[in-house]
Amino acid sequence: MSGRRLKRLGFLTIGLFDEADPGRGHEDTLRMLELGERLGFDSAWVRHRHLQYGITSPVAVLAAATQRTSRIELGTAVTPLGWENPLRLAEDWATVDILSGGRFNPGVSTGPPMHYERVKDALYPDTAELEDLGHARLRRLLSHVAGEPVTDFRGTEGIESYSDRVQPHSPGLRRRMWYGSGSLRSARWAGENALNLLTSSVVKAGPDEGAGAEDFAAIQVSHIRAFRAAHPDGEAARVSQGLVVVPTDSADAAQRAKYAEYASQRLPRTREPQGPARLLFAPDLVGPSEWIAERLRAHAAFREVEEVAFALPFTFAPEDYEQILTDIADRLGPALGWRPAV
């Protein structure tokens, strides 16, 4: 089956840690990013997990990673903007990008944060009902990152100098911003606003989501094509796919059993749309690299992309992640036509 050649290979981690020893978990994550660079991956991405036992501050973790890596691109997939002040986030992002030498790829999502009713009084005690958690909030962030003025004063007061835009300013960062999308409407909006598109293993199902009301790949294809049709770069607009992929080539018997059980527990949710939002999940791909490569080559949405950020399962041990990443880089990637970065 024809399709685009895979040019960029990445991975995504939650950055799991033990509440009793969070330092070890964060160090494990940084070592994983270092390993990804040694293996030739093009990108490494981290997720937000507020009030959970995963990375809660990607800017801090990735700032540390900029000093322990030199080539691999670093990204967030994704930052839920409802937790953030766009002006402050723009400062943090630009700082990380400067520290990385222009390797930062921030991804963002809009809408009310997960479990917003539980946290809104702590997050916005006086303004929760007034906060705009939609696209207007993201437009503010885009303008700040692009270097548009945020104040009407630029100059000197006494002995101190002031800028009228976010500092530091990183000129290339705006073009490296990504939008996490699982619906046709949000994919089209991302294209209209010249963002890059992050797809995942979750989409919204239904007649409004394009052809194939409950066919995951068909729905995701409709999103990708709508995004590119709306984007100024057209067919050259960047899209990254983020399925859960677990090669077992060099896994031992215990690891293979663990991986199979993990996938089995998650399989029922892939059979039909879940919940009021009708979320449809893609099955996890667990098995030998050649088998996974065959399934991906047959996946209509995979054939639309040139880059991926395969999602790592959330609950595995560091030695499991090392085995999975090594097999992805040494076996699965090459089977898909990818060549490691040098």
- Per-residue pLDDT of 100-137, as tens digits, reads 999 999 999 999 988 999 999 999 999 999 999 999 99
pLDDT at 341: 76
Instruction: Give the CA distances from residue 39 to residues 80, 281, 319, 326, in Å, rounded to whole numbers and listed in that order.
Output: 30, 29, 15, 7
Q: Give CA 191 to chain center in angstroms.
A: 17
Work out the percent of the chain whose per-residue pLDDT is above 90: 94
Categorize the per-residue pLDDT at 76 as very low, low, confident or very high, splitting at 50, 70 and 90. very high
CA distance 164 to 153: 6
The residue assigned the tokens 């900029």 is: 66
pLDDT at 209: 76
> Is pLDDT above 90 for 308?
yes
CATH class given for the domain over 8-152+162-335: alpha beta
Region 134-153 average pLDDT: 98
The residue assigned the tokens 């890059």 is: 196
